[in-house]
Amino acid sequence: MGMFNVVSADASCPQCGDRREVRVQFRHGVLDLHVYRLGEELRWDESSRCAFVRRTTRSWCGGYGPPCEACGYDQEFATYAVVFDGGRVTELLVAPLGQVFPDPVEALPLAENELPSAGPMGR
């Protein structure tokens, strides 16, 4: 049993714009190294975290991706945000160049039209 899940989706590098499929690690739902595609339903069991946001609420958590294959851009922090809606993995967002997403332990609820906001490191 692993410590995280993976979402595999297209994303653009904030530094060079290179767009390709990336595998981003996140912690929400059953943590068993499952590779999700956008639109796929998150899996849960009794030990899953974040039960309060699991099916009814839009929510998000930080994500960790590989260095850019084109330019090497890399951050050791969460430069991705994984968005969940209706119990599904719905969006993969990339922080602007030089910025990161805060990485709360639990996934955070989002209002209907709200998006996770990135900020400078160390915020």
- Whole-angstrom Cα distance, residue 7 to residue 123? 26
Is residue 22 at the binding interface for Zn ion, with CB under 5 A as the rule? no
Find the shortest distance in angstroms from Cβ 9 to Zn ion.
16
Nearest CA among 66, 85, 58, 52 for reference residue 6: 66
Name the segment binding Zn ion (CB under 5 A); options: 33-41, 54-62, 68-76, 90-98. Answer: 68-76
Is residue 15 at the binding interface for Zn ion, with CB under 5 A as the rule? yes
Find the shortest distance in angstroms from Cβ 13 to Zn ion.
3
Query: Does residue 6 contact residue 35 with C-beta atoms inside 8 Å?
Result: yes
Which residues sit at the interface with Zn ion, rule CB under 5 A? 13, 15-16, 18, 68, 70-71, 73
